[in-house]
């Protein structure tokens, strides 16, 4: 599991949202146009969708 997501002592998930926001924000630094920002967003969204589907499949095995 990534260091951005951990569990509390009570077992609930928690997120280091500031560090996660910084990491994701850095991915947009290379964009020079609004279209490039949108393209990066689409790429990230696609990767997140695929990874979350795989995680759900693994949980449901």
Condensed to tens digits (0 to 9), the pLDDT of residues 34-45 reads: 999 999 999 999
Backbone angles phi, psi at 16, to 5 degrees: -85, 80
pLDDT at 33 over 90: yes
Q: State pTM to two decimals.
A: 0.80
For residues 40 and 31, the answer to whether their CB atoms sit within 8 Å is yes
State whether residue 28 is helix, strand or coil.
coil
- Residue 55: C-alpha distances to residues 14, 26, 29 (Å): 18, 25, 29
């Amino acid at each position: 599991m990534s260091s951005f997501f951990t569990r509390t002592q009570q077992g609930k998930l928690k997120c280091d949202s500031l560090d996660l926001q910084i990491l994701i924000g850095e991915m947009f630094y290379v964009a020079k146009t609004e279209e490039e920002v949108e393209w990066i967003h689409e790429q990230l969204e696609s990767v997140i969708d695929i990874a979350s589907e795989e995680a759900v499949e693994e949980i449901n095995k």
